[in-house]
Amino acid sequence: MKYLLVFCLVVSASYGAIDEHRISLIERKFQDLARQLMLTELAMGERTRSNYDSGIKQVRSTADGTKSYFVSTHTFNSVCSIHEHSNNDRTVGMGEFTANLNGVEFRTRHNDYRLRMPHRRSKAYHALEDIPLPPTPPSVLRKRTLPEQIKELHNYFRAFSFQNFHFRDYRPYFKPVLCYLEGTWTVDTKTLNEPFESDRHHIDATSWFDLQEKIRFTSYTGGKHYLENFSYLPTTIMNMVNGTPEYAQWNYRIVCHPLKKDLPLSAMKPVDDMAARIGHRWNITRFAHSRAARFVLAPDYNGNRNKYEWQNGYGSFPDRRTSINSVLDWVMSEIPGKDNYPAKLTDTTFGKRILDPRVHNATELNTGYYHRYYRHERKGAMGTFNAHRGYSDRNLFVAQTSNPNVAEMKIKWCGKDEHTHKPFCKEEGVRYSYAIPLEIIYLNPLMTWNPYNIEHISDHRKANIVTKNGRNGGLTQDKAYNGTSFNKYYRTPVEFYQTAHTTVDKDAADTARGTVGVLDRHGNVKRVLSSGVRITLPDIPGIGKIRMRYPVMPITSEGSQIGKEVEAVKDVLNHLETMGAYLQERPSALSGGGNAKADAHFRTSVTNQDPPGHHFHEMFIPNEDMIDLSKGHTITVVTTTDNSHDHKIEVSYDQHTHKYIIHKCDGQDKCWDGHTAELFRLE
């Protein structure tokens, strides 16, 4: 806009004398225009706010189909594109998504965030600390042999899996962490600041301007940055000060908070995202165990952990209205805004105090922590009233901050002095950020347990010691990694997962799981598996698969009339037995349809080839294709996207060995990144 002004001046100069009158006229018109622009942005924001709740809107889609439900929404193969990078010590795999926070719509880069939390003592902007990983239970460490240690550690996993802390008190070793998406308007309009650290992805742009140009380009062509390193983050005019617009830049981050007390698994139940479910022909049980599932937190929590029932390993509580005491309000209220944990702020704009709705007396609310409910004080003896943040936004959690890196919203207001009754006017400014929960991750003792006493190189700059001289994790003396590092984090003995009397060929099982060799301090090769964050742990003998990541993100569409109607209709149709009475005309009989077989679920072997690094892919094969396979045909399927790539695979079925085989991978005989030919059927 400055250029516009210069341009006007040049134009007026070329037309003769620069007369004062004309300049001030242009200045005024320019101010009017800038203000109108601000109001246009407000109108767009108001439209978004009335259409949607804060939440996740969409993930990148890679496939098509004859029905719209074969294409992703906020989920399809995996909700929010979550995946694993368990070879990193504290990286949580999460792809790109579009989200809305209080009417601001933005698109993230490939996220892959780390297990870090706001600083406990520093208020510095984005000061973070590593979240402590849980220790290994002493009763495990006391055992002298590896098989004994494994047996005792299995007991803890068994106790966690059955939520039985009388058998073994697992609670100090299975720590729930709430990871959340936080966004706000910042004053960093010039230099591009990486919003949060990822071992794997950084915004590939030199300035905000550069990023905007790159996003504009990919939006124009429909193309994509092949490494998924661009985000769309809007800018706005925050205030007009003496005719000069004050710009602000939207930015977001994903950080985590270790919950102060245990959150029982029964306090989470699966949400039926029916499009993704029907897209895979999955029943609700099968869906709930997939990466595509989301969970909802229980209505309330009164310390009685037996309150909620279990069904298929997940909570099953009745749906009902909630208030300030919901589990979601409890967990979010532990999270500070941009002042970090020392946050202590109150908001008295318009001369009214904001009170804590959880207590009955007039205690001021610490607005430096996230909340969606508050109590407002009224003038004189008129008492108080309860309020919810946002006009109709169910998921609007806000926190105040004093940090000058967050753009300030100013307001002029007038009132009367309480004592002298003299009228006065003043200008105040406040700074707020917004957040929604993303997922609850249970940290577990495998993250620290190191029975082989393998040396860990914690200094990232020295991490290449591990791979020096072409060491790639092979199972021989010269190829095994020399110790572990932040992104070669393999320390769990294969025996922890492997059954002693396995019918599967041991070597095949090793490649399938991604076993690597690591040298211990005496130079002996140890066979180990990755120990970082996983969505579901591999099968533990006698216990089974345990889910460790519970996505709890809200979605945008439930904020509209359509979203709410569809959810009600879905409930009646899903529960005809108990809710069918709400239908105006009842069906006389149901045909019992819907027995179509679920998609078969496969996985490639794990590859450690670098690039592209430790990973595997999943694939879903519809029943019709499975029938073709059994007849000896080959079929084509595209894998999930992992480590920023997928494969187009021609699958065949070997009638003699009864194995599913990669016939062609991206048109070649072998996958370029080293997946073996064999495919592993998960379900």
In the complex with ligand NAG, the residue whose CB is nearer, 161 or 229, is 229
Beta bridge partners of residue 379, listed in sequence order: none
For residues 40 and 52, what is the distance between their CA atoms, to the nearest angstrom? 18
Shortest Å, Cβ 363 to ligand NAG: 5
For residues 339 and 123, what is the distance between their CA atoms, to the nearest angstrom? 5
Torsion sign over Cα 563, 569, 571, 573: negative
Shortest Å, Cβ 592 to ligand NAG: 12
Dihedral (Cα; 65, 67, 68, 70), 10-degree rounding: -50
Question: Nearest to residue 550, comparing CAs of 179, 190, 283?
Answer: 179
Count Cβ neighbours within 10 Å for each residue of 599-610 and write b for 16 or more, e otherwise.
bbbbbbbbbbeb
In the complex with ligand NAG, the residue whose CB is nearer, 37 or 598, is 598
**Residue 559 near residue 52, CB atoms below 8 Å:** yes
Question: Nearest to residue 254, comparing CAs of 142, 358, 111?
Answer: 111
Shortest Å, Cβ 188 to ligand NAG: 18
In the complex with ligand NAG, the residue whose CB is nearer, 78 or 401, is 78
Shortest Å, Cβ 355 to ligand NAG: 10
In the complex with ligand NAG, the residue whose CB is nearer, 285 or 655, is 285
Give the Cβ contact number of residue 670 at 10 Å. 13
Shortest Å, Cβ 448 to ligand NAG: 20
In the complex with ligand NAG, the residue whose CB is nearer, 465 or 509, is 465
In the complex with ligand NAG, the residue whose CB is nearer, 510 or 599, is 599
For residues 632 and 653, what is the distance between their CA atoms, to the nearest angstrom? 7
Query: Which residue type does 18 have?
Result: I
For residues 540 and 621, what is the distance between their CA atoms, to the nearest angstrom? 26
For residues 457 and 482, what is the distance between their CA atoms, to the nearest angstrom? 10
Of all residues in the shown chain, the one whose CB is closest to ligand NAG is 202
Give the Cβ contact number of residue 340 at 10 Å. 23
In the complex with ligand NAG, the residue whose CB is nearer, 390 or 613, is 613
In the complex with ligand NAG, the residue whose CB is nearer, 283 or 499, is 283
In the complex with ligand NAG, the residue whose CB is nearer, 442 or 616, is 616
Q: Which run of H or E residues covers position 221?
A: helix 208-221
Shortest Å, Cβ 362 to ligand NAG: 6
Interaction site with ligand NAG (CB under 6 A): 200-202, 204, 227, 229, 283, 285-286, 359, 361-363, 455, 465, 482-483, 523, 598, 644
Shortest Å, Cβ 466 to ligand NAG: 8
Shortest Å, Cβ 368 to ligand NAG: 18
Shortest Å, Cβ 365 to ligand NAG: 12
In the complex with ligand NAG, the residue whose CB is nearer, 136 or 487, is 487
- How would you class 275 by CB atoms within 10 Å of its CB: exposed for 0-12, middle for 13-18, buried for 19 or more? middle
Scanning the structure block, which residue is given the tokens 């429909």? 222
Shortest Å, Cβ 478 to ligand NAG: 8
For residues 22 and 585, what is the distance between their CA atoms, to the nearest angstrom? 73
For residues 476 and 518, what is the distance between their CA atoms, to the nearest angstrom? 9
